[in-house]
């Protein structure tokens, strides 16, 4: 148990321990922003299947600043499938739903195998946004759905950027 009483002296941490902690975080996150990846996992779970959780976020990407509502991969994929569904293109919608089901099944099987073998779940690779606004210079672009690699996010803040 860690004592967080402010009147106690914090434990001494050696430079070797600092290096070990830093290396552990780097090994788990690579070049990714560990805090962003951890936040995504905390909200959406290890298999990114929590359809009900969401939060507002603004991110800095090579495309510019993007603000929107972060949602799970499952919720984003279902919304994308719904956008693809039109009266004239039901086949595309069905194909996407089938592909999404295969990816989800594979993710769940991989997750169960990792649990059995004691291998940690990888950190999320993508941030999925609904109702995204992209700010590029003086222009704004509104997109229903936006997906960006966590590796391409160079900065972020909770809440929405506004013009």
Residue 94 lies in domain: 33-158
In a domain, 83, yes or no: yes
Q: How confident is the model at residue 154 (pLDDT cuts 50, 70, 90)?
A: very high
pLDDT tens digits, 90-143 = 777 777 777 776 766 665 566 565 556 665 556 678 899 999 999 988 899 998
In a domain, 20, yes or no: no
In a domain, 108, yes or no: yes
In a domain, 12, yes or no: no
Distance CA 105, CA 111 (A): 10
pLDDT tens digits, 7-33 = 444 456 677 765 665 555 555 555 568
Distance CA 163, CA 138 (A): 9
Contact 69, 130 (CB under 8 A): yes
Distance CA 76, CA 145 (A): 7
DSSP string covering 46-79: TTT--SS--EEEEEEETTEEEEEEEE-HHHHHHH
In a domain, 19, yes or no: no
User: Of 24, 1, 19, which is closest to residue 11 (Cα–Cα)?
Assistant: 1
Q: Indicate if the pLDDT at residue 3 is higher than 60.
A: no
What is the SS3 assignment for 29? Answer: helix
> Within a 10 A sphere around the Cβ of 85, how many other Cβ atoms?
14
pTM given for the model: 0.67
The pLDDT score that the predictor gives to residue 79 is 85
Counting the structural domains of the chain, the total is: 1
Mean pLDDT within 37-66: 82
* Angle formed by the axes of helices 15-29 and 34-44, nearest 10°: 60
């Amino acid at each position: 148990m860690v004592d967080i009483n402010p009147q106690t002296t914090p434990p001494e941490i050696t430079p070797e321990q600092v290096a070990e902690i830093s290396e552990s975080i780097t090994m788990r996150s690579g070049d990714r922003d560990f805090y962003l990846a951890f936040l995504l996992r905390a909200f959406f779970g290890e298999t990114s299947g929590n359809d009900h959780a969401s939060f507002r976020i603004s991110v800095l990407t090579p495309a510019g600043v993007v603000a929107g509502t972060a949602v799970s991969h499952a919720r984003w994929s279902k919304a994308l499938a719904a956008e693809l569904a039109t009266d004239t293109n039901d086949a595309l919608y069905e194909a996407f739903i089938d592909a999404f089901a295969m990816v989800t099944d594979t993710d769940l099987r991989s997750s169960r195998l990792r649990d059995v073998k004691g291998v940690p779940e990888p950190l999320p690779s993508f941030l999925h946004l609904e109702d995204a606004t992209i700010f590029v210079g003086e222009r704004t672009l509104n997109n229903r759905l936006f997906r960006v690699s966590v590796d391409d996010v160079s900065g972020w803040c909770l809440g929405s950027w506004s013009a």
